Structure 1
């Protein structure tokens, strides 16, 4: 994952929770139904959970409340510090989607919210290949992330953001590695996962991959 994102995460850490709660108008649609999205991911997780992109620990908290064993991976020092303050007993280590310490405990579910798009498409494929090898045979992936039906849908969102004067959102949409449903489906299936998509808000889809 590009190291440039680490600086972005550190800068965003102090105001991230306010943003996800809808206090930043530019990102209001992106984080619409945020609590429901996290609850859905947490409820679909089973057994021992590996979480990528812990951020400030909001999904981690729900997983722990559900009685799950959670191993958290987060590249940003600023985000990790906030998450650890909220959840002092949680296991949260430095790492990212491709570079992380594999837990000794067999993994049942891999989860992530609002983070997988930080990987380029070829890196997404590399990550899924790695996850296929560390998951139990009955394991699954549950992600909630920004994905677009097609490139036209992405361009439409860029135009809408531009017309609203949402300059930061426009920059995000033009520079981050948001992909399409068809590409994401191909990447999962190439790595021997069946995959389903359910739209959760105008930007975010629930992506559930199960080992075939």
Structure 2
């Protein structure tokens, strides 16, 4: 599947329901988004950059994290592939500077930045694409910059398979298909991706599914 189709297909359909889902409105995804508001706040706090810093957000979706970043005094540039999501984010966060693109297609108009953030989006990339994206981020980050991501990550392959089986056993067929279809990483391979790109990364578990990743140039 071409990258554009892969990035857009789900979120063009899900744009109207996304805020409800992250707030617990989708029973199958309640554990995936457990503590959603606190996770977003943690991403902002983990940046710990001076007000006025420029932050690049990949996949801002409907603008929930963007709103917190703007409130913290940051200039925020959102790179979002979905037109439906961009429309919602623009309405919710007028200060957000939105451009069309994705992890592997950043417009030339985007300047170097002090921080890069993303939540529940990096898993759309294969492992090899994650390698490429992180290597590109080294060129986007200014000296002293930081990456902070939050996304579903598994401890190892056995854990990933166990979560898939658990979803099937609970009758969570949409979640089970999601876990099979997407490219959810395991910590060891993800740590390798950051290391190959020249980053030091730390992981912190936020709920059963989601881990916080905080990285700086080594």
**Which category describes the TM-score, using the shorter chain as reference length?**
over 0.9
Equivalent in the alignment of 1:108: 114
1:60-91 CA deviation, whole Å, 9 max, x = no partner? 00000000011111000111111111112320
Matches of 1:118 and 1:108 in 2, distance apart? 24
1:159-183 CA deviation, whole Å, 9 max, x = no partner? 1101110010000000100110000
Equivalent in the alignment of 1:210: 216
Q: Which runs of 5+ in 1 are unaligned?
A: none
Matches of 2:209 and 2:216 in 1, distance apart? 23
Q: Which deviates the most, 192-201 or 93-102?
A: 93-102
1:43-69 CA deviation, whole Å, 9 max, x = no partner? 222221000001000000000000001
Equivalent in the alignment of 2:183: 177
Which of residues 16, 23, 31 in structure 1 aligns to 2:33? 31
Q: What TM-score comes out, normalization by structure 2 length?
A: 0.94
Matches of 1:190 and 1:7 in 2, distance apart? 30
Matches of 1:2 and 1:41 in 2, distance apart? 27
Query: 1:105 deviation in Å?
Result: 4.1
Contact 1:97 1:127 in 2 (8 A): yes
Matched, 1:70 2:76: yes
1:9–1:27 distance in 2 versus 1, CA, 3 Å: same
Q: Which deviates the most, 47-56 or 103-112?
A: 103-112
Contact 2:70 2:95 in 1 (8 A): no
1:99-139 CA deviation, whole Å, 9 max, x = no partner? 01245543111000000000010000000000011211211
Q: CA RMSD in A?
A: 1.1
The number of residues matched between the two structures is 212
Contact 1:71 1:103 in 2 (8 A): no
Equivalent in the alignment of 1:121: 127
Q: What TM-score comes out, normalization by structure 1 length?
A: 0.97
Matches of 2:148 and 2:69 in 1, distance apart? 13
1:139-176 CA deviation, whole Å, 9 max, x = no partner? 11100011100000011111110111001000000010
Which of residues 197, 204, 207 in structure 1 aligns to 2:203? 197
1:23–1:174 distance in 2 versus 1, CA, 3 Å: same
Which of residues 6, 15, 18 in structure 1 aligns to 2:20? 18
Alignment of 1:116-195 (within 5 A): 116-195=122-201
Contact 1:9 1:76 in 2 (8 A): yes
Equivalent in the alignment of 2:93: 87
